[in-house]
């Protein structure tokens, strides 16, 4: 997505917007930021807060979240408090694709958190209903998106069946994954977000959202990224909001260390195979 945006012949309008947060930013610097995202990533909040990089220098872009298997979920993006699919449909259509429509979110008036959005009044975009080209399409688009089923893995091909059975018991037991990733939604029914302190991770991306928290993400179909299906092999793996974990085993190892789960190497393997079976 960043490479596509960087190919635009005229980035002056983007420069004018980002100059609210950084008056000295140049078009060349903007192109560098866009290219830093890499494949499969997007930074929707860049045009709200102007934060292009994390404190450690890595890109502030996040992986594009799953678009399938979201029926029954409350929140749908990596960080909590933003909203669900219809919120982002309206946000993207009006504020990022510049469609002729209406978008309202007074939380974007917070100049300390969202200096660009507050100055540009991005939470107060309104057009006459007779000229609105977006709002009438939101219900059908939401219905379509929530109807998209998650891709199903093939037993014995995409995962080890016997190991997955053992991993199923661990998922709901010793590994304690089911405390948040509730079967079969793989997120909490209800308010599905947690603070960075609860997760024992940094709060950079969480603090870019109104909820200052992370959403419990859907797990269905993670085998696709783990195996690198339907993608350039170089882009396989990468889990969590910023792709910080290259493999599912890296994810399990991190949880094991952060929460002192005491999983053996075999148990970690079994949990991974269960995750690939979802």
Q: What would the pLDDT profile of 108-143 be if each residue is shown by its tens digit? A: 999 999 999 999 999 999 999 999 999 999 999 999
Which one of 146, 171, 197 terminates a domain? 146
Residue 267's pLDDT is 98
Look at residue 111 in the predicted model and tell me its pLDDT. 97
Task: Write out the two tokens for 182.
Answer: 């509730």
Cα angle 83, 186, 244 (rounded to 5 degrees) comes to 75
In a domain, 212, yes or no: no
Q: How many CA atoms within 13 Å lie on the side-chain side of 252?
A: 24
The reply to whether 168 and 121 lie within a common domain is no
The answer to whether residues 217 and 66 touch, using CB atoms and an 8 Å cutoff, is yes
Contact 103, 97 (CB under 8 A): no
Mark whether 136 and 233 lie in a shared domain.
no
**Cα separations in angstroms, 208 against 149, 157, 229:** 30, 39, 31
- Based on the fold, state whether residues 95 and 142 are members of the same structural domain: yes
* Within a domain: 188: no
Same domain, 229 and 122: no
Asked if residue 46 is part of any domain, the answer here is yes
Same domain, 166 and 253: yes
Q: What is the pLDDT of residue 66?
A: 85
- Give the pLDDT score at 242: 94
Does a cis peptide bond (omega within 30 degrees of 0) precede residue 184?
A: yes
User: Same structural domain for residues 101 and 59?
Assistant: no
- Answer whether residue 71 is part of any domain: no
* Token digits of residue 5: 């945006």
Claim to verify: residue 171 and residue 123 sit in the same structural domain: no
Confirm whether 42 is domain-assigned: yes
Does residue 75 form part of some domain?
no
DSSP string, the chain: -HHHHHT-S--HHHHHHHTTT-TT--HHHHHHHHHHS-TTEE-TTHHHH---B-TTSSB--EEPPP-SS-TT-S--SSBTTS--HHHHHHHIIIIIS--S--EE-GGGG-TTT-HHHHHHTTTEE---GGG-SSGGGHHHHHHHHHT-PPPPPPBTTTB-HHHHHHHHHHHHTTT-GGGTS-TTTTS-SS--EE-HHHHTS--TTGGGSTT-SEE----TTHHHHHHTTTS-GGG---BSTT--BSSHHHHHHHHHHHTT----HHHHHHHHHHHHT-
Same domain, yes or no, for 165 and 272? yes
Q: Are strands 62-63 and 41-42 parallel, antiparallel or unpaired?
A: antiparallel
Residues 239 and 268 in one domain: yes
Domain housing 122 = 85-146
Distances (CA, A) of 192 to 72, 93, 213, 275: 11, 25, 10, 19
pLDDT beneath 70: ranges in the chain: none
**What is the model's pLDDT at position 67?**
87
Domain co-membership, 48 together with 109: no
Q: Are 272 and 167 in contact (CB under 8 A)?
A: yes
In a shared domain, residues 14 and 51:
yes
Q: Are residues 33 and 100 in the same domain?
A: no
Q: Identify whether 258 is part of a domain.
A: yes
- Whether 35 maps to a domain, the answer reads yes
Cβ–Cβ < 8 Å for 63, 242: yes
As for how many domains the chain has, the answer is 3
| 100 Cβ neighbours under 8 A, 6+ residues apart | 127, 131, 132, 133, 134
């Amino acid at each position: 997505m960043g490479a596509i945006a960087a190919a635009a012949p005229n980035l002056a309008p983007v420069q004018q917007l980002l100059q609210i947060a950084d008056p000295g930013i140049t078009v060349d610097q903007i192109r560098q930021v866009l290219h830093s995202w890499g494949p499969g990533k997007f930074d929707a909040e860049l045009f709200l807060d102007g934060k292009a990089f994390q404190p450690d220098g890595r890109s502030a872009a996040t992986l594009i979240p799953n678009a399938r298997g979201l029926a029954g979920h409350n929140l749908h993006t990596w960080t909590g408090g933003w909203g669900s699919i219809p919120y982002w449909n309206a946000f993207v259509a009006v504020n990022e694709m510049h469609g002729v429509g209406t978008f309202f979110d007074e939380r974007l008036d917070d100049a300390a958190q969202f200096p660009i959005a507050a100055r540009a009044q991005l939470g107060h975009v309104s057009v006459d209903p007779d000229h609105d080209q977006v709002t009438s399409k939101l219900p059908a688009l939401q219905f379509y998106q929530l109807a998209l089923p998650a891709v199903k893995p093939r037993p014995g091909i995409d995962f080890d069946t016997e190991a997955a059975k053992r991993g199923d018991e661990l998922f709901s037991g010793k590994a304690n994954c089911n405390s948040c990733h509730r079967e079969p939604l793989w997120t909490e029914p209800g308010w599905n977000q947690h603070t960075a302190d609860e997760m024992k991770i940094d709060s950079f991306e969480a603090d870019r959202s109104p909820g200052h928290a992370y959403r419990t993400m859907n797990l269905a179909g993670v085998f696709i990224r783990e195996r690198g299906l339907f993608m350039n092999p170089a882009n396989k793996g990468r889990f969590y909001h910023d792709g910080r974990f290259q493999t599912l085993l890296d994810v399990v190892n991190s949880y094991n260390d952060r929460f002192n789960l005491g999983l053996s190497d075999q148990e970690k393997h079994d949990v991974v195979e269960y995750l690939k079976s979802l």
